[in-house]
Chain A
Amino acid sequence: FKAAVLIQRWYRRYIARLEMRRRCTWTIFQSIEYSGHQDQVKLHDFFSYLVDHFTPSSQNERNFLSCMFAEERLLKDSEMETYCDYESIEVPDYYTGPHVSFPLLPDHATALVEAFKQKKQLHARYVLNILHEARKYLIQLPNINHISTCYSEEITVCGDLHGQLDDLIFIFYKNGLPSPERSYVFNGDFVDRGKHSIEILMILFAFMLVYPKEFHLNRGNHEDHLVNLRYGFTKEVMHKYKVNGKKILKMLQEVFCWLPLATLIDEKVLIIHGGISDKTDLELLEKLERHKIISTMKYTKKPEKKKAAEESRSISAWFPLKSRSVPSSPLRLSPHKGSRSASIPCTFTPDRKEIFKKVRQSVQLELKEGQQQMDFSEFKDKEPLRFPLESEPNSCDFQGVNQEEWKQVVDILWSDPMPQEGCKANTVRGGGCFFGPNVTEQVLQKYSLQFLIRSHECKQEGYEFCHNRKVLTIFSASNYYEVGSNRGAYVKLGPDLIPHIVQYQANKTTHTLTMRQRISRVEESALKALREKLFAHSSSLLAAFKSYDLDGSNFITLNDWSVAMESVLHLGLPWRVLRPQLVTHTINNMLEYKSWLNDLAKEQVSHENIQSSLLEVLYRNRSNLETIFRIIDSDHSGLISFDEFRQIWKLFSSHMNVDITDESICDMARSIDFNKDGNIDINEFLEAFRLVEQSYLEDKDSELKGSETNESSCSGQGVH
């Protein structure tokens, strides 16, 4: 029947196009996600470089830098008392959330789940209490947990949750709560990105304390305070626990470093968060002191002169260790906790400008000297980064964790499998490696294992087998990129060790949407993220386009457009396939690129006070900036001083190789509401660039313009 065939033909084509769009969308999300990882690594390399090569010449600079490197070290037991002093925290009468007491009972854990379902928040006292007990328990666990299927018949292994409480609740609903008959292993990355990381942690730790023999946790690369600074967990804690957040964050460091690195089922199935490398040595992993690795992002070396008694101290001797003892601005009133205050016109006192200039000069001088000592271009390269930044290649014994041990752990937590044979550095993530089927085979044989279970990578179906079914990736955060982007899954193993996978998608609305609608939604989200990235590179794109516009007609071919896009962005995306979604107006298959870039800009911002080029820099570096701010705001008060703010910009501009003039900073400051005492509310600043409350700012601006003082030189048309 010809008619039927016609319809079927047409319909199949339609579906094929949808499928192509879906694939592209996925690629977009992944490439953006991973380029974020790389930025993170670059940032840390940058700071490490500074630590190694920067000699501050003034108290200002010393303070500034010391802020950034406020020591990371583990608390001694005596300090633990003061830090963990949850007993003195009172739970007020009006608190309606769950109560917890020790010893913890199964009912308490279940009550927590119920309470969180009802959107209650656990009181800080209980949070600290649970963290304290969790730490006590974790300390006595080995690096590799050996468990057996003979205890409980089935073991359920779950992958990344990333703060998505709905998924955890769903898993418990569908698979049942943990019990002596129902074992669970959670394979890391419980936190960051999603909005309920702390709740997930509380539930997981509670069950771990209640059913220690049946409930097991592995450490993931996100169980790391440096990663948390960037990916949202730090922010979540400070937001939910305004008074005790700092304590909680410190305790979390103490707990994360004690999480076991791996779990072994029946000595046959190895569960690790990331993967393996050709150097993976299980005996070494069993023996090392895992808690010495506070963060896998930064390898801390022992400097020359150091007292043997100290543990984990990382920075060279000349750095004053307690930051902020000397206020960098004379007028420091008590922080007002970031609430919106009335707008006040900014006054730039001459002496501040002087200090500022001096700082800028000396910073640039130092950096230049540093550059001569070491090849600074390392940071601008797109070549594979080694992290951490090592200026001494030989391994340095560091109170029990040497470089080889450190690398073993990084490999376990960061590696990804690849289809090709071999083992190479994981340039996408900046750490760990890509391991091939032969590496898997080699490690499995060496330790007589049957297969590996790992997580770390989002998979469309929630799981994926590779390496001849010897490696199973399991990912439990459904709708990770966007509603409808992917399913979540968990795997069950019985004594036969045959994996049974269960998939789900924890969002009712996805079921009612058609495939077309689901794909459109996810696609729109991906394209939006992509357009933001494009905007952030507007200047480079313009330059690239111009180079193809040889006759100065302002038009380029679509082919040239595709090539230019990749040469600037390096995202590896199929630009020709994506073109119809990104470029809608073409004349004779040629693109008028200037207006296209303008359209992009219009979508992103309509804030005229700030130079668009500056804004571009901000967009490109938004997460970096946020991370830097958080590092500097070491007491997590949400405030940084005006001087610190400017110094950030100076350092930043040198690093990013952008020339930012005083006027530009002036303009930017004017658009931000900051109070007379020289404190800037970080959140307000960042929110501004999230364009959430644009109208608020526009109102403020007009007020500010009206009451401007002598700084007429800050005209907004600063030279870039």
Chain B
Amino acid sequence: MADEKDGGEAGLLELQKKIKEAFEVFDHEANDTVDVREIGTIIRSLGCCPSEGELHDLIAEVEEEEPTGYIRLEKFLPMMVKVLSERRYRPIPEDLLLQAFEVLDSAKEGFLTKEELVKYMTEEGEPFTEEEMEEMLSAALDPETNTIQYRDYLAMMVIDEN
């Protein structure tokens, strides 16, 4: 969904404006700083899909030497420009996601039980918080069968994105 312009003066300027705008949405005090906990949201909303680990690395790059809990725009901007122009952390294509679900679906039944999903999401990889798990379940879980029909779920989410 992101407009990407590579190179060129105008393209760079536009990119910077875009990043700045997204940053400002979370800049509550209007002083070009953002709470470090919101950086992830900003980066992701700009079109990137880093893992938590990658996100931590990015934050480390832009944090102050003595972490203040805030990230300044002047540090964030160049980093983000680089990330976007290098097209790092691309979003995951749908078919790859489907494959991921299928890998977890050891029984190959086309669905995951609630317990299975919860186990994987909260114990494996980069675990979800309870809140994240609950939220995912609220949309993904089919209450009648208590399963996650992941094909349908994916299809619905993809439509929603657009």
Contacts and interface: CB of A to CB of B under 8 A. Distances in A.
A3 B132 CA distance: 17
B28 to A, nearest CB: 7
Contact of A7 (B22, B40, B100): B100
Interface in B30-71: 30-31, 40-45, 48-52
Contacts of B161: 14, 17
A502 interface: no
Interface in A551-572: 558-559, 562
A373 to B, nearest CB: 39
Interface stretch (A83-91, A573-581, A601-609, A680-688): A573-581
Contacts of B51: 5, 8-9
A6 B100 contact: yes
Nearest to A4: B125
Given A6-B97, A7-B100, A577 B29 contact: no
A170 interface: no
Contacts of A11: 128, 132, 136
Nearest to B96: A6
Interface of B: 1, 3, 5, 10, 13-14, 17-18, 21-22, 24-26, 28-31, 40-45, 48-52, 91-92, 96-97, 99-101, 103-104, 120-121, 124-128, 132, 135-136, 138-139, 157, 160-161
**Listed residue (B1, B45, B104) with the most chain A CB atoms within 10 angstroms of its CB:** B45
Q: Name the prevailing secondary structure of the A interface residues.
A: helix
A39 B88 CA distance: 46
B124 A12 contact: no
A420 interface: yes
Interface of A: 1-17, 19-20, 23-24, 27, 419-420, 514-516, 520, 558-559, 562, 574-577, 580, 589
A15 B135 contact: yes
B31 to A, nearest CB: 7
Contacts of B24: 574
17 contacts: A1-B124, A3-B103, A3-B125, A5-B126, A10-B91, A13-B49, A16-B42, A16-B45, A19-B45, A419-B30, A514-B139, A558-B14, A574-B21, A577-B18, A577-B21, A580-B1, A589-B3
A4 B121 contact: yes
A574 B139 CA distance: 29
A2 B31 CA distance: 39
Contact of A9 (B1, B92, B103): B92
Contacts of B121: 4, 7-8
Contacts of A2: 100, 125
A464 to B, nearest CB: 10
A573 to B, nearest CB: 9
A516 B139 contact: yes
Given A419-B30, A559-B14, A576-B18, A8 B103 contact: no
B41 A19 contact: yes
Which 9 pairs across A and B sit closest by C-beta, in order of nearness?
A4-B125, A16-B44, A20-B45, A419-B29, A5-B125, A4-B124, A3-B103, A3-B100, A1-B124
Nearest to B54: A9
Nearest to A520: B160
Contacts of B157: 14
Given A12-B40, A24-B25, A420 B31 contact: yes
